[in-house]
Amino acid sequence: MSAATHKSSALFKSSLGKKYLMGLTGLFLISFLLVHCFVNAMVFFDRSGSLFNEYAHFMGTNIIIRIMEVVLFAGLLLHIIDGLMLYFQNRAARPQGYAYNKPNANSSWYSRSMAILGTLLLTFLIMHLAHFWVHSRFMEDNMLKQPHPDFKTDMLNLYSLMVDTFSNPIVVVIYVLAQVALAYHLLHGFWSAFQSLGLNHTKYNNAIHMAGTAFAIVIPFIFALMPIVIYLRTIGVM
């Protein structure tokens, strides 16, 4: 135990440093989900899509939001890299597993499956970014330029891109399933972030758990409704 071994750089190399990073980036991503969900929920209130397009236009052009977009990608990347490091280190901590094990007797399956749930979410995210982010940022789609009486001339018609994407029922099913994975990831991740940051207190634990459960159910549910509602609009049911 040499006195000089603990430098501040050692913080994030330590097991607890990785926990803090996981919790912090997780909470940051949770805050993003909240904003993303709020903005996209505009599709419910206006079937012409112009309300949603207005919000999307603001998000796409506001300088602070654009900077946050870069921070968001950095946070996501850290969350992924940190998560992978934890996963492989934890596998190595038990080179030989039990011949007979009953993990369900002491813990929930989803708390033990954060890595696999996260991988599913990442796979979905790549598809999701290909569907929307890549189109709106880097491609000159005709659809996005579709004229609409309400639109300012430089405004992209992201709503029509949504309609086009979700007219495919297979895509809708994949999006809904991804929200199930998100719900379970959040069900463990939300309170877990607080615990990792040391925010565990008898006075507030119930509130944190309840807020986490509510968040894990409500947000993915609203997200899942979006492709469903738009699909129903395209086939004329709604």
Partner 1 sequence: MKLNLKVWRQNNANAAGKLVDYTVDGLNPDMSFLEMVDVLNDHLVKKGEEPVAFDHDCREGICGMCSMYIDGRAHGPQHAATTCQLYLRSFKDGDTVHVEPWRSRAFPIVKDLVTDRSAFDRIIAAGGFISVNTGQARDANNLPVDKHDAEKAMDAAACIGCGACVAACPNGAAMLFVSAKISQLALLPQGQPERDLRALRMVEQMDAEGFGNCSNIGACEAECPKEIKLTNIARMNRDFLAASVGSETE
Q: Which two tokens stand for residue 32?
A: 């993003």
State the minimum distance, in angstroms, from the CB of residue 17 to partner 1: 8
The residue type at 153: T
Residue with Cβ nearer partner 1 (12 or 38): 12
Residue with Cβ nearer partner 1 (90 or 123): 90
Which residue, among 67, 226, 221, has the nearest Cα to 159 in the 3D structure? Answer: 226
- Would you tell me which residues interact with partner 1 (CB under 8 A)? 1, 3-8, 10-11, 14-20, 22, 86, 89-90, 92-103, 105-107, 111-112, 114, 188, 191-192, 195-200, 202
Residue with Cβ nearer partner 1 (19 or 135): 19
State the alpha helices, DSSP H only, in 99-145.
114-128, 134-138
Q: Which are the contacts of 83, defined by CB distance < 8 A and separation ≥ 6? A: 22, 114, 115, 118
- From CA 188, how far away is CA 75, in angstroms rounded? 19
State the minimum distance, in angstroms, from the CB of residue 91 to partner 1: 8
State the minimum distance, in angstroms, from the CB of residue 67 to partner 1: 26
State the minimum distance, in angstroms, from the CB of residue 12 to partner 1: 9
Rg (alpha carbons) of the chain, rounded to whole number: 21
Residue with Cβ nearer partner 1 (17 or 60): 17
First-to-final CA distance of the chain: 69
The SS3 assignment for 75 reads helix
State the minimum distance, in angstroms, from the CB of residue 23 to partner 1: 9
Residue with Cβ nearer partner 1 (31 or 195): 195
Residue with Cβ nearer partner 1 (14 or 48): 14
Q: Do 163 and 233 form a contact (C-beta atoms < 8 A)?
A: yes
State the minimum distance, in angstroms, from the CB of residue 190 to partner 1: 11
